[in-house]
């Protein structure tokens, strides 16, 4: 029996219909909208003004604080404006808008396709390079990578896990990276292991990706023996950090703790590739692989896409939005965000655009909770979603805190499994935000 | 049989007596001195426990009043001046009369005025909706129509009108406790002076978007054109961030701004209809 995490989880259909579409380079659009808030933490400070000429890879947004990240231009051209522009939810965020002219890159970037295998930088230099290149976690939360690679004093990493689970249905961008850029991903892992000073590395891949497992195994056997490939039994949310650590190493991250408390650092496959490009090719993070998929589309795609491409342009390229489409999601169907504004642009961590039909996405009528306990069984964090939902609707903050609502990872397993179609996560998520605000506002001991 | 009966009675009686003595002693030892005035003040309160005064409930309000021996900065919006006079009389202090307030919904994005560009299919709650997206119309400042205000109101004074999908305030029932103001994640509800004969003039819009953007999203939006600001003879209107605001303490209800507003974003309510003076100006719904 393959390994998997021990508690909860659900089995949504795979739907990896874009798995066999090789990565295509997306044509440059005429106008790019580069958000200054593409990461967790403080938004970057824009460094350019209207009329400035920029080149691809040029720093245009400076990291503003410890938890923040640099932003680079993804194209060459002229800055048309630096102003608030609506993101995918329709809320204004500071953007640098660039009119594209040609495709000139910064000269310091190595654009050759050769794989650079020799790592010359020291751990401190690696972390500095990663920070300079604005690399953030591409698994979804966009946490600045250099912060993750600098454990707080007193805590030490013992191993690195590369997250190749890609447990969300439909998404195939990580899979394509693992198949087409196997060695770069492993080199990225080796670089991060060097930065962390660890000797053990794992790459966890779900067993619905046999091709990726095979390729990774071949390469780790021959030249990357410090990294072990761990095939995992398919189960959602295996790609959650805490679940992946449990599945791969059997360690448990304590409640409210971070992976580093269990001596582990987890990085996504996409992040690993970005780290390789940053450190070995001196290329800032300004593009990434993005899946464009959906049963209602005629063709499935995996694009290598520059950051800041408007969603409209992407959909135009794949033949427009089909009539049947009812909902467009950025990210996976379980945790992704519905796109309320198609003129919004992609960010570093945009992993997919998913088009769903009315039948696939329409919510069914909500019934009464019959206390069947399915949500409790499904919760990978061992919480009681039915109870949290009731407490949340009654705004009972103390009891919510007592029931550890803050441990919720918002994976949506409870809502997925509920036979009464109760929107459990909707209420739990808001309550979690409230409780965490209350907890943060307390004076620290 | 007889002895069992007698024993039971005797044992229970002795036990009862003993416990009574213990209870008495404990009550003496841990007696909390409480001002009897608190009970008297609490009795005069409406008892809604709505928290509109800023305290946890009517009892907490009464305690605060009695403890500080003054009514400065304390006001029960539900009971209004009548109750505050009674409280003042009980406590033997003076209280200032406050002008009555009422909740005002500052959004006029009805289905007719605002085109919907998205359809929301999730949980009906403004808080949840606002955490997910900016709104299903082009305006990110306006009412979401989820009815959090309706749920928050203990007095049944605010209702979502199913036709306009906007909340409407019943002035008779509204106590200005402010529960809806706190419940609204978009902050479109404001407590304003009720005004003489409930006559009020206010800007029914919260959009801070630039004029063209605001107008495109909603035909009744304030576009920040400053016409009202220039017209107002009392300096009651200020335009900030493309949005006009009427200071109700300065407004003399002359309604010059209402006629001037190109989008009809300024509402004048409860005025008698003017027969011929201004045909273009249509009196808005009374219930706002």
Q: pLDDT, tens digit, for every residue of A158-204?
A: 999 999 999 999 999 999 999 999 999 999 999 999 999 999 999 99
* B50 pLDDT tier (thresholds 50, 70, 90): confident
Please indicate, yes or no, if residue A130 is contained in any of the structural domains. yes
A427 touches chain B (CB under 8 A): yes
Query: Which residues from A are below 8 Å from B134, CB to CB?
Result: 86, 89-91, 340-341
B115 neighbors B137 (Cβ within 8 angstroms)? yes
Task: Tell me: do A353 and A379 sit in the same domain.
Answer: no
pLDDT band at B1 (very low <50, low <70, confident <90, very high): low
Of A314, A334, A362, which one is at a domain's C-terminal end? A362
Contact B121 A337 (CB under 8 A): no
In this structure, are A233 and A327 located in the same domain? yes
Structure tokens of B190?
Answer: 């404001």
Q: What percent of chain A has pLDDT over 90?
A: 92
B134 interfacial to chain A (CB closer than 8 Å) = yes
Q: Which of these three, A338, A362, A386, is where a domain ends?
A: A362
Tokens (6 digits) for A425: 């996560």
Query: How far off is chain B from A363, nearest CA to CA, in Å?
Result: 7
- Closest approach of B142 to chain A, Cα-based (Å): 13
> Which candidate, A75, A283, A287, places its Cα nearest to that of A173?
A287
In a domain, A33, yes or no: no
| CATH, residue A227 | 3.40.50.11540
Q: How far is B49 from chain A (nearest CA, A)?
A: 17
Following DSSP, what letter does each residue of B40-91 receive, concatenated? HHHHHS------TTSSSSHHHHHHHHHHHT--TT---TTTHHHHHHHHHHHH
Both tokens assigned to A388: 């949290």
Placement of tokens 């930065």 in the chain: A195
pLDDT tens per residue across span B23-46:
999 999 998 888 888 999 999 988
A427 shares its domain with A322: no
List CB contacts (< 8 A) between B118 and chain A. Answer: 340
Asked, for residue A37, whether it belongs to a domain, the answer is no
pLDDT, tens digit, 9 for 90 and up, residues B116-148 = 888 888 889 999 999 999 988 889 999 999 999
Question: Into how many domains does chain A fold?
Answer: 2
Q: Do the Cβ atoms of B127 and A430 come within 8 Å?
A: yes
Q: What is the pLDDT of residues A301-317, one digit of tens each?
A: 999 999 999 999 999 99
**Interface contact B234, partner A, CB < 8 A:** no
Distance, CA of A204 to CA of A243 (rounded, Å): 11
pLDDT confidence of residue B275: 63
Residues A294 and A273 in one domain: yes
User: What mean pLDDT do residues A41-49 have?
Assistant: 93
Rounded mean pLDDT, B145-163:
93
- B135 touches A at CB < 8 Å: yes
Q: Residue B286: is its pLDDT beyond 60? A: no
DSSP H stretches of helix in A259-417: 269-281, 311-317, 358-361, 374-378, 385-393, 397-402, 413-417
The answer to whether B134 contacts A337, with C-beta atoms less than 8 Å apart, is: no
* The pLDDT of residue B256 is above 80: yes
- pLDDT tier at B288 (50, 70, 90 boundaries)? very low
pLDDT band at B52; cut points 50, 70, 90: confident
Give the contacts of A74 (CB within 8 A, at least 6 positions apart): A32, A34, A56, A286, A287, A306, A307, A308
Question: Is B210 an 8 Å CB contact of chain A?
Answer: no
pLDDT at A140 over 90: no
Backbone angles phi, psi at A61, to 5 degrees: -135, 125
**pLDDT given at position B280:** 46
Could you say which of A89, A327, A363 has the minimum Cβ distance to residue B134? Answer: A89
A125 found inside a domain: yes
> Is A132 in the same domain as A170?
yes
Residues of B with Cβ-Cβ distance to A429 under 8 angstroms: 128, 131
In this structure, the answer to whether residues A269 and A389 fall within a common structural domain is no
Domain with A290 in it: 1-25+116-362
**Residue B192: its pLDDT value, please?**
93
Task: Find, among B132, B136, B208, the residue nearest to A89 by Cα.
Answer: B132
Neighbours of A314 (CB within 10 A): 21
Interface with chain A: mutation pick from B124, B140, B209, highest number of A CBs within 10 Å:
B140
A404/A346 same-domain check: no
- Based on the domain organization, do A305 and A422 belong to the same domain? no
A216 in the same domain as A186: yes
> Chain-wide mean pLDDT for chain B?
89
**Preferred mutation among A85, A93, A337, A340 to probe B, highest tally of B CBs within 10 A:** A340
Considering the domain architecture, whether residues A264 and A347 belong to the same structural domain is answered as: yes
CA distance A312 to A329: 13
**Window 312-341 of A, Cβ < 8 Å to B:** 327, 337-338, 340-341
> What's the gap in Å between the CA of A91 and the closest CA on chain B?
6
All domains of chain B, ordered by start, with CATH? Answer: 36-91 (1.10.15), 101-269 (3.30.70.20)
What ipTM describes this predicted complex? 0.86
Percent of chain B surpassing pLDDT 90: 55
In a domain? residue A76:
no
A128 domain residue, yes or no: yes
Please state the separation of Cα A272 from the chain's center in Å: 12
Distance separating alpha carbons of residues A416 and A411, to the nearest angstrom: 9
Compute the count of residue pairs across chains A and B with CB atoms less than 8 Å apart.
Answer: 42
Cβ-defined contact of B132 to A427 (cutoff 8 Å): no
Nearest to B123 among A89, A361, A423 (CB): A423
**For the residues B215-222, what does the mean pLDDT come to?**
92
Residues A422 and A328 in one domain: no
Does A46 or B285 have the greater pLDDT score?
Answer: A46
Whether residues A122 and A216 share a domain: the answer is: yes
For residue A363, list chain B residues with Cβ-Cβ distance below 8 A.
Answer: 121-122
Percent of chain A with pLDDT over 70: 100
Within-domain flag for A434 = yes
Distances (CA, A) of A64 to A61, A68, A382: 9, 6, 37
Q: Given A362, A393, A425, which residue is the final one in a domain?
A: A362
Residue A178 is assigned to a structural domain of this protein: yes
* Alpha-carbon span A388 to B208, nearest angstrom: 37
Q: Which of B129, B133, B144, B210 to mutate to test the interface with A (most CBs of A within 10 A)?
A: B133
| Antiparallel, parallel or unpaired: β A23-25 and A53-54 | unpaired
């Amino acid at each position: 029996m393959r390994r998997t995490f021990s508690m909860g989880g659900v089995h949504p259909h795979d739907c990896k219909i874009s798995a066999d579409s090789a990565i295509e380079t997306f044509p440059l659009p005429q106008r790019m909208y580069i958000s200054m808030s593409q990461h967790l933490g403080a938004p970057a400070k824009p460094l350019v003004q209207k009329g400035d000429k920029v080149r691809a890879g040029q720093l245009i947004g400076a990291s503003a604080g410890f938890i923040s990240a640099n932003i680079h231009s993804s194209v060459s051209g002229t800055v048309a404006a630096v102003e608030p522009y609506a993101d995918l939810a329709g809320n204004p965020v500071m953007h640098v808008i660039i009119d594209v002219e040609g495709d000139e890159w910064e000269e310091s970037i190595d654009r050759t396709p050769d794989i650079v295998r020799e790592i010359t930088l020291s751990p401190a230099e690696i972390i500095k390079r990663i920070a300079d290149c604005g690399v953030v976690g591409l698994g979804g939360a966009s946490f600045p990578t250099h912060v993750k690679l600098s454990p707080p004093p007193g805590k030490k990493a013992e191993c690195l896990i590369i997250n190749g689970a890609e447990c969300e249905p439909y998404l195939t961008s990580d899979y394509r990276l693992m198949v087409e850029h196997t060695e770069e991903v492993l080199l990225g892992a080796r670089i991060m292991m060097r930065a962390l000073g660890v000797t053990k590395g794992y790459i966890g891949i779900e067993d619905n990706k046999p091709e990726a497992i095979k390729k990774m195994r071949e390469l780790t056997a021959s030249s990357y023996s410090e990294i072990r490939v761990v095939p995992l039994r398919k189960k959602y949310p295996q790609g959650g950090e805490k679940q992946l650590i449990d599945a791969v190493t059997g360690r448990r991250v304590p409640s409210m703790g971070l992976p580093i408390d269990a001596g582990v650092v987890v990085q996504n496959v996409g992040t690993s590739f970005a780290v390789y490009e940053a450190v070995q090719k001196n290329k800032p993070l300004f593009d990434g692989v993005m899946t464009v998929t959906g049963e209602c589309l005629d063709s499935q795609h995996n694009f290598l896409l520059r950051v800041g491409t408007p969603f409209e342009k992407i959909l135009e390229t794949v033949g427009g939005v089909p009539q049947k489409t009812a909902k467009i999601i950025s990210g996976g169907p379980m945790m992704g965000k519905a796109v309320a504004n198609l003129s919004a642009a992609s960010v570093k961590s945009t992993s997919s655009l998913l088009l769903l039909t009315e039948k696939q996405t329409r919510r069914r009528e909500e019934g009464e909770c019959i206390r069947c306990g399915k949500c409790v069984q499904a919760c990978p964090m061992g919480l009681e979603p039915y109870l949290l939902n009731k407490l949340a609707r009654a705004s009972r903050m103390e009891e919510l805190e007592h029931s550890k609502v803050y441990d919720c990872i918002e994976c949506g397993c409870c809502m997925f499994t509920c036979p009464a179609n109760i929107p459990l996560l909707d209420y739990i998520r808001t309550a979690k935000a409230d409780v965490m605000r209350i907890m943060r506002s307390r004076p620290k001991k | 049989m007889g002895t069992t009966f007698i024993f039971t009675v005797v044992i229970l009686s002795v036990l009862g007596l003993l416990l009574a003595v213990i209870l008495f002693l404990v009550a003496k030892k841990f007696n909390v001195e409480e001002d009897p005035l608190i009970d008297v003040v609490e009795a005069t309160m409406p008892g809604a426990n709505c928290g509109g005064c800023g305290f946890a409930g009517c009892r907490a309000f009464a305690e605060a009043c009695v403890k500080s021996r003054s009514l400065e900065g304390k006001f029960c919006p539900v009971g209004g001046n009548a109750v505050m006079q009674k409280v003042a009389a009980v406590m033997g202090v003076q209280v200032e009369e406050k002008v009555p307030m009422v909740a005002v919904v500052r959004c006029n994005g009805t289905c007719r005025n605002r085109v919907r560009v998205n359809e929301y299919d999730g949980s009906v709650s403004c808080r949840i909706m606002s955490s997910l997206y900016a709104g299903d119309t082009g305006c990110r400042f306006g009412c979401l129509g989820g009815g959090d205000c309706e749920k928050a109101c203990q007095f049944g004074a605010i209702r979502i009108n199913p036709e306009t999908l906007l909340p409407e305030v019943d002035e008779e029932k509204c106590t200005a406790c402010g529960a809806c103001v706190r419940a609204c994640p978009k902050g479109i509800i404001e407590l304003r002076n009720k005004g003489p004969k409930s006559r009020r003039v206010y800007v029914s819009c919260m959009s801070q978007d630039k004029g063209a953007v605001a107008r495109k999203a909603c035909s009744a939006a304030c576009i920040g054109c400053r016409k009202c600001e220039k017209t107002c003879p009392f300096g009651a209107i200020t335009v900030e961030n493309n949005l006009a605001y009427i200071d109700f303490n300065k407004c003399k209800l002359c309604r010059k701004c209402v006629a001037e507003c190109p989008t009809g974003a300024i509402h004048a309510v409860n005025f008698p209809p003017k027969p011929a003076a201004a045909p273009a100006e249509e009196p808005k719904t009374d219930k706002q």
